[in-house]
Amino acid sequence: MDSGIKIGRIFGIDIFLHWSLLIIVALITASLGMIAFPNWHPDWPAWLAWSTGAIAAVLLVASILFHEMSHALVGRRWGMHVPRITLFLFGGMAHLESDAPEWRAEFWMAIAGPLASLVLGFALLTAGNIAAGPVEAQALDDPQAYLASLSPLATVLLWLGTINIILALFNMVPGFPLDGGRVLRAIVWGVTGDIRKATHAASMLGQLFGWYLIANGVLMVLGVSVPLFGTGLVGGLWLIFIGWFINRLAVTGYQQLLTQRALTGIPVSRLMQTGTQSAGPTLTLDRLVDEILLPRGQRAVPIEEDNRLRGLVSLEDIRRIDRNEWANTPASTVMTPRDQLRTLAPEADLEEALRLLGSSGFNQAPVVYQDQLLGMLRREDLLHWLALHDKD
Ligand SMILES: [Zn+2]
């Protein structure tokens, strides 16, 4: 979900579209153009049903952006940094750099999205009613004829308004990762003062809701008609997929919090390996392998000169060079140079280290103080620490 193309910047927040969004736009266009609109408007030619469907689908994406934007802007008012919003298969996601500082921030930020969708939904319904014009008495007796009489504009507005209200209600289901789950978490956090207990409760309800959707989806696939969702193979599979996704996020959201809490405040210096053997920039690769990497079991060798860190040579760097060339290749030609290395300060905490290792793709990071190498922090040591410290 981190990939996607940037389509613009609003209020200083980068807006990204993930390719999976194309699937949902195509699905909605197809279901409106082939099923819903031809049902409501038997007299519409196919091109009109399809093009109105496509416009409605794109406007739905815009409403999701509106929803996410309200999360982001309210979050910013509470001092949270929201660098980007990604729109993807299941809607949108406002990316936070950190968790909410207090329960009130979490509460207002979480509830802002559904409130925005609700307000937008009612505004669209009102506009749709105005566009539809006055309803004549006989239209009430024959809703089918009334629907057929609506213009494309009124049709889109009324559909979009309804969908936005449904979106708001769905998002208020009180299970993490849905907005309602975050609202619930904020309230439990406010009442008990214990964010872990609050996240646990919201996560359990989120998992339960995920299983509920999966169960409904399975029944639909088996041809049973379930309340709210109806029946149908495609709808059933879709529901199973959404339920599974919500369930996964509910589980990982809680684990992430445990991880964060196990790592926050523990300095890197406590976990770093200090006995790491380094080498000079002129040492050739064959000696680097034979004298350091193999006998010491190191996965990387820091390159130092005049007691200053110059770079890092990893096993992967060496594998890129033909074995016959190892004896003529100095370490400096294959190393990742200092200015491209992601390094850690000894007083940085393990949470920051985990984020750095995650985003850099390296398995270890040099711990550096004023250009001097103090030690190496390895991913495996972090994972060991977690295995020991994030019980329950
Ligand atoms: Zn939301």
Residue 110 CB neighbour total at 10 angstroms: 26
Domain assignments of the chain as residue spans, ordered by start: 5-172, 268-389
Burial 61-94 (b: 16+ CB within 10 A, else e): bebbbbbbbbbbbbbbeeebebebbbbbbbbbbb
| Rounded Cα–Cα distance for residues 372 and 310 (Å) | 10
pLDDT band of residue 125 (cuts 50, 70, 90) is very high
Closest Cα to residue 107, out of 204, 202, 190, 195? Answer: 190
Distance 165 CA to ligand 1 centre (A): 13
Distance 261 CA to ligand 1 centre (A): 25
pLDDT band of residue 1 (cuts 50, 70, 90) is very low
What would the mean pLDDT of 247-272 be, rounded to a whole number? 80
Per the document, the length of the chain is: 392
Distance 168 CA to ligand 1 centre (A): 8
pLDDT at 80 over 50: yes
What would the mean pLDDT of 106-123 be, rounded to a whole number? 94
pLDDT at 2 over 60: no
In the chain, what percentage of residues exceed pLDDT 70?
94
Distance 67 CA to ligand 1 centre (A): 6
- Whether residue 351 contacts residue 358, with contact meaning beta carbons closer than 8 Å, is answered with no
Distance 72 CA to ligand 1 centre (A): 10
Distance 71 CA to ligand 1 centre (A): 7
Distance 155 CA to ligand 1 centre (A): 25
Protein fold of 268-389: CBS-domain (3.10.580)
pLDDT at 127 over 80: yes
What is the β-pairing status of strands 84-88 and 13-17?
A: parallel
| Rounded Cα–Cα distance for residues 47 and 52 (Å) | 8
Burial 287-319 (b: 16+ CB within 10 A, else e): ebbeebbeeeebbbbbbbeeeebbbbbbeebbe
> Model's pTM, two decimal places?
0.70
Distance 308 CA to ligand 1 centre (A): 48
Q: What is the DSSP letter of 42?
A: T
Most confident of 147-156, 184-193, 256-265: 184-193
**262 vs 64, higher pLDDT:** 64
Question: What's the mean pLDDT when you consider all of the chain?
Answer: 85
pLDDT at 334 over 70: yes
Distance 68 CA to ligand 1 centre (A): 6
CA 338, 343, 345, 346 torsion: positive or negative?
negative
